[in-house]
Homo-oligomer: A and B are copies of this chain.
Amino acid sequence: PTPPSTNQRRMVVVRAEAINPEIRKNEDKVVDSVIVSELSKPLTAYCRCWRSGTFPLCDGGHVKHNKATGDNVGPLLLKKQ
């Protein structure tokens, strides 16, 4: 018999459910554009958890989401160099 896997840190079940609870639900599809030459800061974090109060920017809300659900999502970092 196969021993239980030990290199899987957690088991999270994700069902076929929406992942965006409330951001711009009046839009068919929430797409944002960044003109990278217009970035003002050396580092800008963009949200991929759909929990940010400053969406499309990351406000750190992924931390609470990950803690509440066992998830492991985080932002996309745009770096000027």
Contacts and interface: CB of A to CB of B under 8 A. Distances in A.
Judged by DSSP, the binding face of A is loop
A2 interface: no
Contacts of A79: 33-36
Copies of this chain in the oligomer: 2
B9 A81 contact: no
A73 B70 CA distance: 21
A21 B14 contact: yes
B37 A81 contact: yes
Interface in A39-81: 39, 46-50, 56, 62, 65-66, 68-81
Contact of A34 (B15, B18, B49, B76): B76
Contacts of A21: 12, 14
